[in-house]
Structure 1
Amino acid sequence: MTLAPTLAITGSTGHLGGMVARQLADAGSPQRLLVRDLSRAPELDLAVPAVVTYADPVLAKAALAGVQTLFMVSAAEAEDRLQQHYAFVDAAAAAGVRHIVYTSFFGAAADSTFTLGRDHFATEEHIRASGMDFTFLRDNFYLDFLPLLAGEDGVIRGPAGDGVMAAVARADVARSAVAVLRDPALHIGRSYNLTGPDDISLATAAELLTAGTGRTITFHNETLEEAYASRASYGAPPWQVDAWVSTYTAIAAGELAGPTSAVHELTGREPLGLAEFLAESHTL
């Protein structure tokens, strides 16, 4: 692997990592695509695939040999995701990686209302303690998910109250990541809170979704008891239901509020708002 590219990208078979990998390829940047399944690796110019799983430190260390900068997309939600992150970060340090660019969450803290925000904070702290250089991209809630929150009856249900969030388009996060990865030395030790241009409530989001999709969408502010009851039929484990519900309670608590200039600072363009995102998506 010593002749392989020194920039490694995880998540290239997914939405965010795939956007980042394609944009890097379009820019002519060599990259190593770290994937679980070689057959699913995108075929891109100057891209070399390598097999890796976050939970296998031996495999990860071998795949990361010679890497200087690593783009680490957070692992899929799982009960042991934090342990997977720790193992992968440790493997990166052991392999000699110099700089990790990690996709974290807006306002990540040890006491985040959003339960998975606590895992992101713990991952950040583990990266800080590793001795490697780091850059944290703290993404707000994705605008991309908003159309998916409404049930078949067109109702978004959750205990978000009148709380607002500065939701961000995944495409703006990808563009921001590419800007960092193309000149990582400029961003060592920085944390970027990546947001959309304005704060919106779920009631406002429902109005914009109605206007932008032609589907009638409304918001119902559940109580906590209603929120847990309405999700019980999914049969999901308690940690996952807690994560789902706490997405809404984090909005109610104001922890996802506060637009920043970070996307513009990194990319030179204003981030998309929900109406613009819907107009551009052409898929709804």
Structure 2
Amino acid sequence: MGVIAVTGATGQVGRRVAERLAGTRDDAQPVVQRLLVRDPKAMASAAGREVVGVQGYADTEGMRAALEGADDLFLVSGRESADRVAEHRAAIDAAVAAGVRRVVYLSFLGAAPDATFTFARDHWATEQHLAASGLRWTALRDSLYHAAWPAFVGDDLTIRGPAGDGRVASVGHGDVSDVVVGVLLAGDAYDGQVLDVTGPTALTVAEVADTVGRVTGRPVRYAPESLDEAYASRAGYGAPDWEVTGWVTSYAAIAAGELDVVSDTVERVMGRPPQDLETWLRAHPETWRHLVRR
């Protein structure tokens, strides 16, 4: 196995991918990694692990230089921005120029040109560019993360959004990271495939709120909003219009049934089922301790 480049190596998924790859041996040899980060001081190099600083995906020359000699690239989707598709395309073009052979891209569930969730349209555009690049590729479309739900709970212990009675099978960062590693180490087994990565059970947001409340011991509830109410309730954050639209349409996509997907990808790739929301929350109290203090 050649060099595996990992982007976003200080983030929730990239960090876990790097840790899992570091513990994986192929023919008694550790996997050789190149970790691409904005701040090289944030991570230490080690045996089988080189840390390289890159100033974002739009730094085309920096990306190309960082990827020289890498065989495989795990491409985490960039930070949400108005220019994210262009940044993703630049990163893919840099991989091509550097001679990378394969890209595993972290996309999003329901990616499509007309997806209700506007950020999912960005992922679809990225997937299209990747498929046309000439590289070997796999797209992993993960669902919303379990960790998002406690963060969505307001000061009044309420999750508000226009999700209606729609369902979503959220997933843990660890399960997604394990799938990434499984795909990276599987040779060409998943080349040219789009894999949905979800949790084991699709819940309504009301059921999510009940689950968070049961784990935390707090009276968490869900308050449905109309689209107009959702935009109005988020207007005070001072975020740009494209970002507010992304927040609102993430709930609207649930209402539209576009995230009502339960896949077998975790079990198929890793040979075990994914963690459900309640099990994950009980294992990660750091994500909801702030609710107990309210």
Choose which of 10, 15, 40 in structure 1 pairs with 2:12: 15
Alignment coverage as a number of residue pairs? 280
Q: 2:50: which partner in 1?
A: 48
Q: 2:172: which partner in 1?
A: 169
| TM-score, structure 1 as length reference | 0.96
Are residue 191 (structure 1) and residue 194 (structure 2) matched? yes
Q: 1:133: which partner in 2?
A: 136
- Structure-2 separation of matches of 1:159 and 1:211: 23
Letter of the structure 2 residue corresponding to residue 143 of structure 1: H
Local SS of the residue matching 2:112: coil
Are residue 91 (structure 1) and residue 88 (structure 2) matched? no
Choose which of 247, 261, 286 in structure 2 pairs with 1:258: 261
Q: 1:160: which partner in 2?
A: 163
Deviates more, 1:190-199 or 1:176-185: 176-185
Q: Offset of 1:44 from its aligned partner?
A: 4.7
Residues 18-67 of structure 1: per-residue CA shift (max 9 Å, x gap): 01101111223210001111111255541101122200111111111111
- Structure-2 separation of matches of 1:102 and 1:94: 17
Q: 1:270: which partner in 2?
A: 273
Q: CA contact under 8 A between 2:202 and 2:260: conserved in structure 1?
A: yes
- Structure-1 separation of matches of 2:46 and 2:236: 42
Letter of the structure 1 residue corresponding to residue 195 of structure 2: Y
- Structure-2 separation of matches of 1:86 and 1:20: 22
* Runs of 4+, deviation exceeding 3 Å: 42-45
Letter of the structure 2 residue corresponding to residue 109 of structure 1: A
Local SS of the residue matching 1:184: coil
Q: CA contact under 8 A between 2:63 and 2:91: conserved in structure 1?
A: yes
Q: CA contact under 8 A between 2:3 and 2:31: conserved in structure 1?
A: no
Change (3 A) 1:243 1:42: farther
- Structure-2 separation of matches of 1:208 and 1:161: 17
Q: Offset of 1:183 from its aligned partner?
A: 2.4
Local SS of the residue matching 1:72: strand
Local SS of the residue matching 2:5: strand
Q: 1:69: which partner in 2?
A: 72
Q: 2:32: which partner in 1?
A: 30
What runs of 5+ residues in structure 2 fail to find an aligned partner?
25-29, 289-294
Query: Identity over the aligned pairs, expressed in percent?
Result: 45
Superposed counterparts of 1:156-235, under 5 Å: 156-235=159-238
- Structure-1 separation of matches of 2:16 and 2:89: 25
- Structure-2 separation of matches of 1:20 and 1:184: 17
- Structure-1 separation of matches of 2:189 and 2:4: 15
- Structure-2 separation of matches of 1:272 and 1:43: 31
CA RMSD of aligned residues (A): 1.1
Local SS of the residue matching 2:183: helix
Q: CA contact under 8 A between 2:143 and 2:171: conserved in structure 1?
A: yes
Choose which of 111, 115, 119 in structure 1 pairs with 2:118: 115
Q: CA contact under 8 A between 1:13 and 1:42: conserved in structure 2?
A: no
| TM-score, structure 2 as length reference | 0.93
Q: 1:146: which partner in 2?
A: 149
Q: Offset of 1:184 from its aligned partner?
A: 3.3
Q: Offset of 1:6 from its aligned partner?
A: 1.6
Q: Offset of 1:139 from its aligned partner?
A: 0.3
- Structure-2 separation of matches of 1:45 and 1:198: 40
Q: 2:291: which partner in 1?
A: none
- Structure-1 separation of matches of 2:58 and 2:96: 15
